[in-house]
Amino acid sequence: MNAHSRSANCPPIPSSQARKPAIRTRAHPLTTLLMQTARRWYHRYQGRKAAEQLMKLDDRMLKDIGLTRGDAIRVQMSRVPEEELRRLQELPQRHR
């Protein structure tokens, strides 16, 4: 028995149970604003946690990843730490 004959023997699906196309609805503007705000807060939280982790590293470890103590302090003091981290990643590697 092949797959074609097996499907021919299956009973038809009632129209009430047939898969209907997904309907896209637009989110309410307030929901969109809340989601954007939550996402922004989460990214800032992650940036602050990363800055805390950088401050825990000693100078030798910072040098190994191409940063200085000043870079770590600058990230920690930044109003938006994740942007400062992104800026540091884009800088060329310092000479050691």
Residue-wise pLDDT tens digits, 8-48: 566 666 666 666 666 767 878 899 999 999 998 998 888 88
Would you say residue 1 lies in a domain?
A: no
* Residue 81: burial class (beta carbons within 10 Å; 0-12, 13-18, 19+): buried
Q: Looking at residue 57, what is its pLDDT?
A: 93
Would you say residue 94 lies in a domain?
A: no
Question: Range of 61's domain?
Answer: 27-89
- Overall number of domains in the chain: 1
Would you say residue 9 lies in a domain?
A: no
Q: Looking at residue 16, what is its pLDDT?
A: 62
Would you say residue 63 lies in a domain?
A: yes
Would you say residue 8 lies in a domain?
A: no
The pTM is what? 0.54
Q: Which residue has the higher pLDDT, 61 or 93?
A: 61
Helix axes 81-90, 69-77, angle to 10 degrees: 140
Rounded Cα distance, 26 and 23, in Å: 10
